[in-house]
Structure 1
Amino acid sequence: MPASSQIARASDACLHCGSPVPVGAASRDFCCAGCEAVYGLLRAQGLTRYYQLTQGKAAPAPEPRKDRGFAWLEPLVSRAEAVPGPVCALELDVQGIHCAACVWLMNELFRRQQGGAGLTVDPALGKVSMQWRRGAFDVSGFLRTVEDFGYLFGPSRKHPEAASLDLPIRLGICAALAMNVMLFSVSFYVGLTPEDGDVFRLFTRLSVVLSTGVVMVGGWPFFRSAAQGLRRGVLHLDLPIALGILLVFGTSLVQARGGRGDLAYFDTLNTFVTLMLVGRWLQQRVLERNRRFLLEDDGAEGLFVRRQEGERLSTVRAAEVGEGDVLVIAPGDLVPVDAVLLDADASVSTDWITGEPGERAVTRGDALPAGAFNAGREAVRVRASQAFTDSPLVALLRRAPAGTGSAAVHTRFWDRVSRRWVVTVLLVSGLGLALWWPAGPDKALEVAVALLVVTCPCAIGIATPLAYELVQARLRRDGFFVRSPDLMDRLPRVRKVLFDKTGTLTLGRLELVDRASVDALSSEARDVAFDLTSRSNHPASRCLSAALARVGARFNAEARVTEHSGQGVELTRDGVCWRLGRAQWAMEGQGASRVENSHLSGAAEPDGSRDAQSLADVAAPTPSLTSLERDCALGTEPESRIAAGATSASGPVLTRDGMLVATFALRESVRSDARREVQALQAEGRSVWLISGDAPARVRDMAEALGIPTAHALGGQRPEDKASTVAALDAADTLYLGDGVNDSLAFERALCAGTPAIDRPVMPGKSDFFLLGEGLASIREALRLSLRLRQVVRRLLMLAVAYNVVAVTVCLSGWMTPLRAALAMPATSLATVLFTVWSLSAARERPASTPTQLREVPA
């Protein structure tokens, strides 16, 4: 049973994606909130055929984002509509496509939209092409509808990699040619000799011509890779493969030109090249699929903003923003530079730059930090205090230079293997030539060619990529998506696991401590509370709105809700004043001053972090958490405290004419398996660290609740601090998991890095892997399978060495013939493939309930 199955009840599978539901999850039916939300949408809109098409192979759904900006879309639509004609066309990238059901769903949603002319979805590349009738189609409305189901759209940046188009074509050509050469070789094996005259010469020439095509078409990727490696001073397995192809082809060509095509190894060479291409295709297939699952990241070039130019409003790249520019920030859009608010008030969120959730109200003249998002419902105007070149975002958005970090350490092993393999092959071939030279040049050359054929790393070339493909596909089913081709080689070295806090160990959202507070409401109070919360975008209101919707609260479209800055929301119905927000405000008279466009307050919000202060000293601290709030934030069974009478947690309250109706205690939602996985990692011999920009006291409290040593809990970390901490800890053995752009610099310093935040820009493009779902168990499973993969690969090497010892002995004895070589090479390849599949199948079934202590990995 795989390790991930240990965290789930045997009968519990997510109703949406089929993944195991972690013990302690908020719902017994869904593995994450995203799956629950999408499942509800599919049922509500009559789209359940989606599940018939997935055939149980859906991926966990990211939680739909309601606050996403579309500034990038406006210039694209304008250009599309500027083209003459009744029909407009636009091509976009899409994130999240994984099967035919996704294609059907998008086409069905497009069919229901008025004004659409045609939609083409390319699931292999992750692109969508749409056509619509001019003036009759709402492009942004359609995109928002689709994004409600967990997908994301972006500008068209994805392009098929050359290898993804090139390799299948080369493989098909080589397979066809190789089969024909094998037919000609059969005639040699069954008795066709030079004495047969024209037929023998014809078959020999055809073998030469077709084999030349195989070497040119199929060998080119290996020749190119080997040459590039030599130019960089890097040796890898493509070098012995390339040398083997050239030497075997050259010597077989000499035999054929001497009239002895029956002594050449053309059929073996063709089979070898074809199998190597199969291995290379397997090596790239899963990685390309994982990369195309995400949107392409253009860093700073991918950020757009609306700039006011007189009476015009232009959408420009963030890089074009200069000091003094007036920018219009729509709901969900990013403030790319430090700026000053020009409008009366606004609500902003800085979770992307600080990694900590929470929104705060700002008023005219207040400073806004670069990286803040407009969390309100209306667009606001700001004046840039700096040019984008001076923005702190520039350093955080940059791409790491190639070759930086600790990733290069893993290449040492394959460098040594390649170097020793090449030297050994050449020495053994030379030895065979020298030993048999007294018997005549022809016999000596025959032995040397046989040695080159049997010592080519054929088995490794196909079995090793297959092993990587099997492991990566297995992890993909667990929600662990590998992006870097060398990640599985680095993971066995991991001895330290470093977590960011909010959005990583927690889910970046609030949840109810006790659902009974909602269940106990009367139908009238429930409907009123739903009207209040559904019209606010604050995290606390989103949490309560979802909880109320689950118990059947009804929405009144005629309700008129007023928001009070920093206090809460208010609704008057039938002469009765209802309020939801801070207790002191909600329970007083109705004379509170009203300020529009604020947000619901009263939940435990994080205070200003050093990350925010480093970008702009505008963070306003909120009151400190009570002990109960800390328990709620850490998920440490607060219900028992409430039952014992500890009701001092501040939370939004619902009042009716100033009389208390209900109190809703909220907590920061922690991943259900966080404590279990942290302790399991430590039990396996890995040290776990908590590095966060949140207040040090909160970080220490969470570390204590999760079982992380207090000395390993570092709070108040700026982006530069995180990077320095990782650099100090890393000895080519750290794994860093983070979600905010404040983790960007730390990503560059760690041996390997990943993110669960695929709905925000930058971080997915910088990561070696990304996670779907709300559990962390797939990280430990990836570490376990990487160790198993390393064992399998090294056993493959041992088998290859053992086979070559036997084969070399046979060759030096003069017993190797083209027929025997043609049989031995595919037989050993098949044996190693079967061994690989069996080994990794056994790894999938091995119980993982008992942690295994790690041993040091040699450099």
Structure 2
Amino acid sequence: MNAVLAAAPSAVPQQDPCCFHCGLPAAPNAQWTVAIDGAPRQMCCPGCAAVAQAIVDAGQSSWYATRDGYAATASGADALPAELALYRNDDPRFALDATDCEAVLLVDGIRCAACVWLIEHRLLQMPGVVQAEMNIATGRLRVRWRKDGCEAADVLRALHAIGYPAWPYDAARHSRQLQQSSKALGRRLFVAGLSMMQVMMYVAPAYLADDAVNRGTLDDGMAALMQWASLLLTLPAICYSATPFFRGAWSSLRARALGMDVPVALGIAAAFGASVIATWRGQGDVYYDSVTMFIFLLLCSRWLELAARRKAASALERMQHGLPASASLLAGWPTARIATVVDAAALKAGDVIAVKPGEAFAADGDIIEGSTSADLSLLTGESAPQAMAAGATVPGGAINAGNAVLLRVTRAAGDSTLAGLLKLVEKAGSSKPAMAMWADRVASIFVAALLLLAAGAWLWWHWADPGRAWPVAIAVLVVSCPCALSLATPSALAAATDRLLAQGILVVQPHVLETLHRATHIVFDKTGTLTEGKPAVRHVSRMGPGAGPDNRAALHIAAALEANSAHPIARAISAAAESRIAARWTAMDVREMPGQGLEGFVCGQRYRLGNAAFVAAIAGNDMGEPDDGAVPERCGGGLTTVYLGTNGAWLACFYICDALRADAQRTVDDFLKQGKQVVLLSGDRDRLARQVANQLGITMVQGDCLPQQKVDYVRQLQRGGAVVAMVGDGINDAAVLRSADVSFAMGSGAALAQAHADAVLLNGQLHAVADSAHCAGRAMGVIRQNLAWAMLYNATAIPAAALGWLNPWLSGVGMALSSAVVVINALRLRKA
């Protein structure tokens, strides 16, 4: 806000219809007014109205009475770029609902927790802004505002005014920004390193001349020449390499906030200023070597931090570049096969596109011609390609790893599976967990305390030993490391979530890892979570003597009878027949007996398919024993037996069940070994739920649960002090997923369940929940290590500097190493 005030220091006459804030002409029908000192004042636009209202709300309305110029306009130093000034609330990128807008912005110039605090605090002061969350690790800001409160351009203007350029998030811009930042930082680092090495050459004789052996070997004239040479060689580091620190400190002070750059800039300025004075006077200590080394080491720390941020965003960048920019459209298919290259964003449902080997599928669709294999690693983390034949559904973003195919688009590129995942990832990268917010608050207080301590150290040493006052004060300013404290949590969480995303586990909410680590109860849904979610024929046994049909023929007959039934068991038999039998028979005169089964004619022979009593009516009461009566393993949803018989003969028995997931037992065992309480909460019949629980070794089980009963059960656990993690699949799980402390949705589950979950298992593997728990434990361990290191370092180094035990150059080494330790330790989480 002070950046806006800077251009207008005193009173000016006001002439209507000019804007009272900026002086530009106001439209005759302009409706924007702000009450200033009890009088309504005309404004030319919502931006001026928002800034003026913020000035009044901050109690600074007296500024208008003392200014001698208008506030900065679009031609001022803090002007908003013309293309950003055009953004309005009706832009589809900002649409949220009928009353609110929401945007993910890419913010430049973020350096520490104080920057985060300043951005969030300034935006929340604007009329209409209801939420502002800045993520220091990713550089993304999520803002939500009311449409009737301000415009999108006003939000961007407010950020530019306090020194933080921002744009609507775009993957290409983000990539370019990181590359530009890396190149600029590399140039500054090179200049600082070159200055440091050259200065060291000129200060080395002075150090050697001061030792006991060489004392007096450097005369005063040569010493002065060395100091002047060091001054000239330090100027490039001060005027170029250190400008980001001075610019950041000025922006913080101008906005009345204390950022990490403030003590850094003060330390550099104090050391350089004292050195210049000593050089000019020809007496006193100089610190050119300490200044250049401090700038170089601090830039090295920034380089590591930038590298960590780029690596933390690597998985997201891969996803954002997963959808191709163009597609080969077959507009005249099937009569013509001429392909036209079109913008992928222009594809709509029903379009037919050709996908060549090695290309990405531009949108979700069904293969209508050809067969291939698809690489889904970008979406699920599964590296093995999956076979895709005609009729298979392929998600947008998958890679065609086999033959050329034709795809009929079912959803436009903007609504594809990958596009939906990107929206969730963007949401995930713009929020902060409680631990990070705690570290931000501590870091912002830390800087103020540090400045007071430096001033106190200077005063004490000025009284005790005036010659050491400046070196001690500089060392205190330089040795502190608030950035290590503010980076301790977000750097670790960013590395951990990037690793999980690469494994096919999408963390949507920021609290997932720390809450999962504290979870006491792991609650699983049954159908589609512990089980595969669909009944299937697990075994076929022949029955009765004689040369009846074999298993394949029996399945063929049963599928013919079930061909027109929508019952889940019918779908299971039909699916088994499709996978095992090439030919298809036709059943005639099929009749369905509700609750019993089906009767019909196949090749002129009457058959019955259903329960034992129904089939016995034509096959006879002497059922006999199946030739292989072994119950299939892993039947988690209860075993159902379906019999096939004909006149006077039993033919076959089909074992149908909803099988347990292959990794269900391993997942449950893993949590039990961690000391977690595992609960099975299902809407299925209590008897079936208990069968699954007994098979998996789960002691707490509840069946016959309606959605609200699931919610009540979870809340009852929470009232007893439990921290509940919920894993579910399906629309009826959405409410309980939202009620749990942390929740996971299977990637193959209903979209509503995924929308309400805190994390999504894109790979569809249940054991990914246990993998997330292990990763959460490692992440919390690294965060504790980082916080402990940052606090221990500052608690040790700052008093040591205040007592005069550390000189400025050694303090610079410690400060840079402290930040490097935090970042490097966090990057360990990216390894499996």
Residue 116 of structure 2: aligned partner: none
Could you tell me which residue of structure 2 aligns to residue 436 of structure 1?
461
Aligned to 1:554: 582
| Cα RMSD for the two superposed structures | 5.2
**1: distance between equivalents of 2:715 and 2:432?**
13
1:275 and 2:304 correspond: yes
User: Offset of 1:682 from its aligned partner?
Assistant: 4.0
Distance 1:411 1:776 in 2: 29
**Counterpart for residue 690 of structure 1:** 680
Spell out, residue by residue over 1:52-100, the C-alpha distance to the aligned partner (whole angstroms, 9 max, x if none).
xxxxxxxxxxxxxxxxxxxxxxxxxxxxxxxxxxxxxxxxxxxxxxxxx
Decide which of 709, 728, 737 is 2:716's aligned counterpart.
728
Residues 500 and 690, structure 1, Cα contact 8 Å, conserved in 2? yes
Offset of residue 666 of structure 1 = 1.0
Tell me which residue corresponds to 1:57. Answer: none
SS at match of 1:661: strand
The answer to whether structure 1 residue 521 and structure 2 residue 550 are counterparts is: yes
Residue type at the aligned position of 1:188: V
**Is 1:768 matched up with 2:768?**
no
SS of corresponding position for 2:532: strand
Residues 272 and 458 in structure 1, CA contact (< 8 A), matched pair in contact too: no
Among candidates 656, 664, 673, match of residue 674 of structure 1? 664
C-alpha deviation, 1:753, in angstroms: 0.9
Q: Work out the number of aligned pairs and report it.
A: 518
> Given residue 671 of structure 2, which amino acid in structure 1 is its aligned partner?
L
2:238 corresponds in structure 1 to 208
Is residue 609–residue 644 contact of structure 2 (8 Å, CA) maintained in 1? yes
* 1:565/1:818 CA distance change after superposition, 3 Å: farther
Q: Does 2:724 match 1:713?
A: no
The farther-off stretch of 746-755 and 208-217 is 208-217
For 1:21-40, what aligned pairs fall within 5 Å after superposition?
none
Aligned pairs for 1:324-473 (under 5 A) are: 410=435, 414=439, 417-418=442-443, 421-422=446-447, 425-438=450-463, 444-459=469-484, 467-468=492-493, 471-472=496-497
Alpha-carbon distance between aligned partners in 2 of 1:671 and 1:181, rounded to the nearest angstrom: 58
For 1:535 and 1:790, how far apart are their aligned partners in 2? 55
Letter in 2 for 1:508: G
The amino acid that maps onto 2:521 is K
Relative to structure 1, is the Cα distance of residues 443 and 796 closer, same or farther in structure 2, using a 3 angstrom cutoff?
same
Judged with a 3 Å threshold, the aligned counterparts in structure 2 of structure 1 residues 813 and 629 are, in CA distance, closer, same or farther, namely: same
Is residue 562–residue 569 contact of structure 1 (8 Å, CA) maintained in 2? no
The offset of 1:754, in angstroms, is: 0.9
Paired residue secondary structure (1:770): strand
1:507 aligns with 2:532: yes
Is 653-662 or 775-784 further displaced after alignment?
653-662
Question: Could you tell me which of 628, 632, 636 is aligned with 1:634?
Answer: 636
String of CA shifts for 1:486-514, please: whole Å, max 9, x gaps.
32222222112222222122221113343
2:769 pairs with one of 771, 779, 782: 779
Provide, for residues 744-767 of structure 1, a one-character-per-residue CA deviation record: whole Å limited to 9, x for no partner. 232333221111144532332332
Question: Larger Cα Rg: Structure 1 or Structure 2?
Answer: 2
Contact 2:301 / 2:817 at 8 angstroms: preserved in 1?
A: no
Could you tell me how far 1:473 is from its partner in structure 2? 5.2
Q: What SS does structure 2 have at the residue aligned with 1:663?
A: strand
For 2:798, the equivalent position in structure 1 comes to 808
Distance in 1, Cα, partners of 2:255 & 2:733: 37
TM-score if structure 1 supplies the norm length? 0.49
The Cα shift of 1:697 comes to 4.7
Q: Per-residue displacement from partner, 1:632-662 (whole Å, max 9, x unpaired)?
A: 85368x7xxxxxxxxxx543x4455795432
Rate the CA distance shift 1:663–1:633 in 2: closer, same or farther, 3 A. same
- Match 2:192 to one of 178, 181, 205: 181
2:635–2:657 contact (8 Å) kept in structure 1: yes
Distance 2:198 2:191 in 1: 12
CA distance in 1: counterparts of 2:610 and 2:818, whole angstroms: 72
Find the residue that maps to 1:214 and give its secondary structure: helix
Deviations 1:345-374 (A, max 9, x none): xxxxxxxxxxxxxxxxxxxxxxxxxxxxxx
Q: Amino acid of the residue matched to residue 727 of structure 1? A: R
Contact between 1:579 and 1:655, CA under 8 Å: does it hold in 2? yes
Q: Which stretch shifts more, 263-272 or 558-567?
A: 558-567
CA drift at 1:784: 3.3
CA displacement at 1:706 relative to structure 2:
3.8
- What is the match of residue 786 of structure 2? 796
Deviation (angstroms), 1:250: 5.7
**Residues 656 and 686 of structure 1: is their aligned pair in 2 closer, same or farther, counting only changes over 3 Å?**
same
Query: Structure 1 counterpart of 2:194, which letter?
Result: L
Alpha-carbon distance in 2 for matches of 1:199, 1:184: 11
The one-letter code of the counterpart of 2:537 is L
* Aligned counterpart, 1:740: 730
Q: Deviations over 1:689-714 (max 9, x none)?
A: 3333334454455444444445x525
SS at match of 1:634: coil
Pairwise CA distance, 1:218: 8.5
Higher relative contact order (CA 8 A, sep 6+): 1
1:493, 1:732 within 8 Å by CA — same for their partners in 2? no
Letter of the aligned partner of 1:686 in structure 2? Answer: K
Q: Hey, what's the Cα distance between the residues in 1 that align with 2:199 and 2:549?
A: 87
Distance in 1 between residues matched to 2:568 and 2:247, nearest whole Å = 58
- After superposition, the Cα gap between the structure-2 partners of 1:668 and 1:525, relative to the gap in structure 1 and judged at 3 Å, is closer
Distance 1:751 1:580, change over 3 A: same
**Counterpart of 1:799 in structure 2: which amino acid?**
W
8 Å contact from structure 2 (residues 481, 790) kept in 1: no
What displacement does 1:738 show?
1.5
Q: Deviations over 1:317-339 (max 9, x none)?
A: xxxxxxxxxxxxxxx9xxxxxxx
Any idea what SS the aligned residue of 1:484 has? coil
Residues 744, 574 of structure 1: alpha-carbon distance in 2 compared, 3 angstrom cutoff? closer
Kindly indicate whether the alpha-carbon contact (under 8 Å) linking 2:724 and 2:742 is maintained by their aligned counterparts in 1. yes
Inter-partner Cα distance in structure 1 for 2:497 and 2:551: 51
- Residues 714-747 of structure 1, C-alpha deviation per residue, up to 9 Å, x if partnerless? 53223x4433433332247221111122222323
Q: Is the 8 A contact 1:535 1:561 kept in 2?
A: no
Gaps of 5+ in 1: 1-156, 231-238, 295-314, 317-331, 333-398, 590-627, 639-648, 845-859
Q: Which amino acid aligns with 2:184?
A: I
Is residue 514 of structure 2 the alignment partner of residue 489 of structure 1?
A: yes
List per-residue Cα deviations over 1:81-128 (Å, max 9, x = no partner): xxxxxxxxxxxxxxxxxxxxxxxxxxxxxxxxxxxxxxxxxxxxxxxx
SS of the equivalent of 2:186 reads helix
Structure 2 unaligned regions, length at least 5: 1-167, 204-222, 280-285, 324-347, 350-364, 366-423, 619-629
